[in-house]
């Protein structure tokens, strides 16, 4: 959900995904506004009591538990509501994990339960009558471009789950490998090799005979009416990979200037609309769309065969969308069109910094 939670995007995805992963009540409400039945998984490292109760009220399929204390709180709230909540324990693996652009696990972060405390968490969960431990959640990275590395990561998740399942005789229904499949913003021709990933995954799972070995036969394949997710599943929560390519961000060049030997194209827009490149301090891929209209009675400035830095309208030197990128030509009045802007674009931006108007959003259906 956090990669892009616009209603038309959710509506387009709902028929082709099993469900949505939400990390706030607001996100759950956005899912429920477009689909009353679809499965929702609820996670996040700082859930409040109201959010936990709210998620239970919205009949989420699974709650991801991020700490031992949170496990006790979920038990307490579920007990008050006289219900039993299906949960996965979110594990922060010790690693080392495949190198991705952002790491949520394998390194010290606020996410999940340290691998060394998972046994303790399992013992506690099994003593608590209002939680039903159904498996593990491993979301560990973002923007991984290495398909073979991602197969090895899922392999590690399965082996860890199997170890805990056999040690504690746990009937596992779900293994959630999280998101993290990447988009190559540096070289758009070299994208994550989806076919290599799925065929590698298929081979690895056959070798492991994972579904036969770790899943309780009674639960396998049965689609739980309450949960809406087929039991005995390996789940993925792809955010970036699903939504990046559907979005474009277009901004008009309002000025061109040379300062300290560098060429700048300044656009009507910037990181308050599209914060991803500034957040990751990288150049975002774009093309220049020529616009022929020119209504001023003086010559139109242009650059040819130049390296340009695309800056926005905010009064901060951090408002840069691309740096030193070669273009054959750019003129004031042309439009800079950024590709792969559908994930973590508008959704992560500080829309009201400097109080400029919001951009127009257009959804092509
Ligand atoms: C952000 C997030 C995702 C999606 O990650 P992508 O890198 O966009 O695929 C999935 N699961 C959890 C728990 C997340 O926090």
317: domain CATH number is 2.40.37.10
Share of the chain above pLDDT 90, in %: 85
Q: What is the mean pLDDT of residues 16-40?
A: 96
CA distances from 65 to 61, 79, 136, 351, 363 (A): 13, 16, 9, 31, 35
Q: Which of these three, 211, 244, 277, is where a domain ends?
A: 244
pLDDT value of position 262 = 97
Pocket test for ligand 1, best of 97, 178, 341 (most atoms within 8 A of CB): 178
pLDDT value of position 211 = 53
Mark whether 45 and 134 lie in a shared domain. yes
Task: Tell me whether residue 360 is in a domain.
Answer: no
pLDDT value of position 226 = 53
Q: Which two tokens stand for residue 276?
A: 């991803």
Kindly name the residue from 157, 238, 246, 315 that is annotated as catalytic.
315
Q: Which two tokens stand for residue 9?
A: 């995007």
When pLDDT is cut at 50, 70 and 90, the band that residue 343 belongs to is very high
Task: Tell me whether residue 365 is in a domain.
Answer: no
When pLDDT is cut at 50, 70 and 90, the band that residue 100 belongs to is confident
Q: Is 112 in the pocket of ligand 1 (CB under 6 A)?
A: no
Enclosing domain of residue 202 = 7-244
Mark whether 97 and 213 lie in a shared domain. yes
Share of the chain above pLDDT 70, in %: 93
Per-residue pLDDT tens digits for 186-233: 999 999 999 999 999 999 988 876 555 555 444 444 445 456 677 778
When pLDDT is cut at 50, 70 and 90, the band that residue 104 belongs to is confident
Mark whether 15 and 87 lie in a shared domain. yes
Mark whether 99 and 219 lie in a shared domain. yes
Query: Which atom of ligand 1 is closest in space to residue 3's alpha carbon?
Result: 8
Secondary structure (H, E, C), 179-206:
CCECCCCCCCCCCCCHHHHHHHHHHHHH
Mark whether 264 and 236 lie in a shared domain. no
Q: Which residue has the higher pLDDT, 260 or 228?
A: 260
Mark whether 23 and 146 lie in a shared domain. yes
- Concerning whether 246 is annotated as a catalytic residue, the answer is no
Residue 111 has pLDDT above 60, yes or no: yes
Residue 99 has pLDDT above 80, yes or no: no
Q: Which of these three, 226, 244, 262, is where a domain ends?
A: 244
Mark whether 209 and 295 lie in a shared domain. no
pTM over 0.85: yes
**Count of the separate structural domains present in the chain:** 2
> Chain-wide mean pLDDT for the chain?
93
Q: Which two tokens stand for residue 170?
A: 């746990």
Q: Which of these three, 244, 274, 308, is where a domain ends?
A: 244
Q: What is the mean pLDDT of residues 141-163?
A: 93
Map residue 125 onto helix, strand or coil.
Answer: helix
Mark whether 300 and 193 lie in a shared domain. no
pLDDT value of position 108 = 84
Q: Is 313 in the pocket of ligand 1 (CB under 6 A)?
A: no
Q: What is the mean pLDDT of residues 342-357?
A: 97
Query: Which atom of ligand 1 is closest in space to residue 182's alpha carbon?
Result: 7
Mark whether 220 and 271 lie in a shared domain. no
Task: Tell me whether residue 362 is in a domain.
Answer: no
């Amino acid at each position: 959900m956090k990669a892009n939670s616009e209603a038309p995007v959710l509506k387009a995805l709902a028929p082709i995904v099993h469900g949505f992963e939400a990390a706030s009540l607001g996100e759950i409400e956005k899912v429920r506004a477009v689909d009353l039945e679809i499965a929702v998984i609820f996670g996040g490292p700082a859930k409040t009591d109201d959010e936990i109760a709210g998620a239970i009220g919205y009949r989420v399929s699974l709650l991801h538990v991020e700490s031992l204390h949170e496990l006790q709180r979920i038990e307490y709230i579920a007990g008050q509501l006289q219900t039993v909540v299906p949960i996965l324990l979110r594990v922060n693996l010790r690693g080392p994990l495949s190198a991705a652009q952002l790491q949520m696990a394998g390194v010290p972060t606020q996410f999940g339960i340290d691998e060394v405390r998972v046994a303790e968490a399992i013992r506690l969960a099994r003593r608590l009558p209002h939680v039903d431990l159904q498996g593990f959640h491993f979301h560990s990275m973002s923007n991984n471009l290495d398909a073979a590395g991602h197969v090895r990561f899922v392999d590690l998740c399965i082996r860890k789950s199997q170890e805990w399942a056999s040690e504690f005789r746990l009937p596992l229904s779900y293994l959630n490998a999280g998101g993290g499949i990447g988009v190559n913003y540096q070289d758009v021709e070299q994208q994550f090799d989806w076919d290599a990933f799925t065929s590698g995954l298929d081979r690895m799972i056959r070798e492991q005979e994972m579904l036969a070995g770790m899943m309780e036969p009674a639960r396998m394949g049965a689609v739980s009416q309450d949960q809406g997710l087929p039991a005995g599943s390996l789940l993925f929560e792809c955010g970036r990979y699903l939504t990046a390519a559907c979005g474009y961000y277009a901004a008009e060049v309002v000025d061109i200037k040379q300062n300290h030997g560098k060429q700048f194209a300044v656009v009507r827009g910037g990181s308050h609309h599209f914060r991803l490149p500034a957040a990751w301090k990288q150049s975002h891929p774009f093309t220049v769309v020529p616009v022929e209209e020119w209504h001023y009675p003086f010559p139109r400035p242009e650059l040819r065969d130049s390296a340009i830095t695309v800056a926005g309208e905010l009064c901060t030197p951090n408002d840069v969308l691309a740096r030193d990128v070669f273009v054959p030509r750019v003129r004031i009045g042309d439009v800079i069109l950024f590709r792969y802007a559908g994930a973590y674009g508008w959704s992560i931006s500080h829309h009201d910094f400097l109080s400029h108007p919001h951009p127009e959003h257009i959804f092509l259906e």
